[in-house]
């Protein structure tokens, strides 16, 4: 039985989904679909907050959509943010009830601005990067979502969203927006293969991550060269070995996992065997995803239309909220919508 609460989450179109994204978030999104009413967005407006190329953004947005479908997200739960432009209009309205002081304390803004400055002293920091959390609040509140599955790094943005909702309700219309709660599901935290003290991330470089679309050959190669240690210590496991065990368990291979863990504890484990097991488990898990992705690419047009349709359906929910919000705030509505020729690539 599905519960009545609505779940909303979103991901930036970064190109490839890697194992960190998959085990840390997407796998959980797939499971939540059977428990709640779920809406998942690919947030391309958010991806404009740091320097980018239009063609890459467009390609990555579709790529992310196809990969999410390949992972098992159902098309009716998926939308592309720029196909629901109401998000940006609500973001403006929410920006007028969001606290400037609180916005200046967002650590993700400070971290990203710092990263940009480090790569280039004269780096351009946009207003969009600063108001990013307001758009995120709009993503959540426009669907009156109750639960938001996110990582701990998004806790502050969720708190900001709640404060915006509280202030809106207090100023205009008590109880209009339900207060969204973060949903912190315990998910495996995957580390870089080449530097297991850091979180797996594409920005660290090729050797550090594995995409979910990788071929069996590359999977074997990358796992074989994953960092372990030379002096195993049963008392305290090294980050690299721990990461391999985390990966093995994440693939659902509980039996092999406990068998190898016992070998590790008794000091008989050979890391080649552990790596072999991890690589084979990943190949088994990822092969159907890679095949489904290929099938989707071969029928691109059909799947693009599916996502355009689901985005249009989800847009109806967003448009209804925006109409109500505009009424509540004293804004006006246009007499009719302006027609445009459909040239969406």
- Contact call for residue 46 and ligand TRP (CB under 6 A): yes
Residue 78 pairs with which residues in a beta bridge? Answer: 40
- Give the tokens for residue 309: 């349709």
Of 9, 21, 49, 243, which lies in the binding site for ligand TRP, with binding defined by CB under 6 A?
9
Please report how close the Cβ of residue 10 comes to ligand TRP at its closest, in angstroms: 4
Query: E strand or H helix at 225, and its extent?
Result: none
- Give the tokens for residue 128: 């969009």
Catalytic residues: 112, 199, 202
- Contact call for residue 193 and ligand TRP (CB under 6 A): no
- Contact call for residue 142 and ligand TRP (CB under 6 A): no
What number of other Cβ atoms are within 10 A of residue 325's Cβ?
A: 23
Measured from the CB atom, the residue of 139 and 280 that comes closer to ligand TRP is 139
Residue 11 pairs with which residues in a beta bridge? Answer: 42
Of 139, 247, 271, 318, which lies in the binding site for ligand TRP, with binding defined by CB under 6 A?
139
Separation between Cα atoms, residue 210 and residue 213, nearest integer Å: 8
Measured from the CB atom, the residue of 18 and 249 that comes closer to ligand TRP is 18
Residue nearest to ligand TRP (CB): 10
Of 50, 154, 311, 321, which lies in the binding site for ligand TRP, with binding defined by CB under 6 A?
154
Radius of gyration of the chain (CA): 22
Of 42, 91, 140, 318, which lies in the binding site for ligand TRP, with binding defined by CB under 6 A?
140
Please report how close the Cβ of residue 132 comes to ligand TRP at its closest, in angstroms: 7
Proportion of the chain in helix, strand, coil states, percent, rounded to 5: 60, 5, 35
Of 19, 39, 43, 279, which lies in the binding site for ligand TRP, with binding defined by CB under 6 A?
43
Please report how close the Cβ of residue 137 comes to ligand TRP at its closest, in angstroms: 8
| Continuous H helices in 199-344 | 216-224, 239-250, 254-265, 271-298, 300-329
Per-position DSSP letters for 130-151, written without gaps between them = HHHHHHHHHHHHTTT-SEEE--
In the complex, the residues that contact ligand TRP under the rule CB under 6 A are 8-10, 12, 43, 46, 136, 139-140, 148, 150, 154
């Amino acid at each position: 039985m599905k519960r009545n609460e609505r779940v909303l989450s979103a991901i930036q179109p970064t190109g490839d989904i890697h194992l960190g994204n998959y085990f840390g978030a997407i796998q959980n999104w797939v499971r939540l679909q059977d428990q709640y009413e779920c809406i998942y967005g690919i947030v391309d407006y958010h991806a404009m907050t740091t320097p980018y190329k239009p063609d890459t953004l467009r390609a990555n947005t579709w790529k992310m959509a196809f990969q999410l479908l390949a992972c098992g997200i159902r098309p009716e739960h998926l939308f592309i943010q720029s196909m629901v432009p109401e998000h940006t209009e609500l973001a403006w309205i929410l920006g007028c009830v969001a606290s400037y002081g609180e916005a200046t304390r967002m650590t993700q803004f400070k971290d990203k601005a710092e990263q940009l400055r480090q790569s280039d002293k004269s780096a351009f920091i946009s207003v969009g990067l600063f108001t990013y959390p307001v758009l995120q609040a709009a993503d959540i509140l426009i669907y009156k979502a109750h639960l938001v599955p996110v990582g701990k790094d998004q806790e502050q943005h969720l708190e900001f969203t709640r404060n915006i909702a509280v202030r809106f309700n207090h100023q205009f219309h008590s109880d209009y927006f339900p207060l969204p709660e973060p949903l912190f599901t315990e998910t495996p935290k995957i580390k870089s293969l080449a530097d297991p003290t850091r979180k797996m991330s594409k920005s660290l470089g090729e050797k550090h991550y594995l995409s979910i679309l990788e071929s069996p050959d590359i999977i074997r190669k990358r796992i074989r060269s994953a960092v372990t240690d030379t002096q195993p210590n049963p008392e305290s496991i090294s980050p690299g070995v721990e990461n391999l065990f985390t990966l093995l368990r994440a693939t659902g291979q509980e039996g092999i996992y406990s068998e190898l863990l016992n070998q590790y504890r008794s000091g008989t484990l050979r890391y080649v065997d552990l790596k072999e097991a991890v690589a084979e488990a990943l190949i088994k898990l990822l092969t159907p995803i890679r095949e489904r992705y290929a099938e989707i690419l071969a029928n691109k047009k059909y799947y693009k239309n599916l996502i355009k349709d689901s985005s249009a359906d989800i847009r109806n929910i967003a448009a209804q909220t925006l109409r109500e919000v505009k009424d509540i705030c004293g804004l006006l509505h246009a007499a009719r919508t302006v027609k445009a020729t459909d040239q969406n690539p």
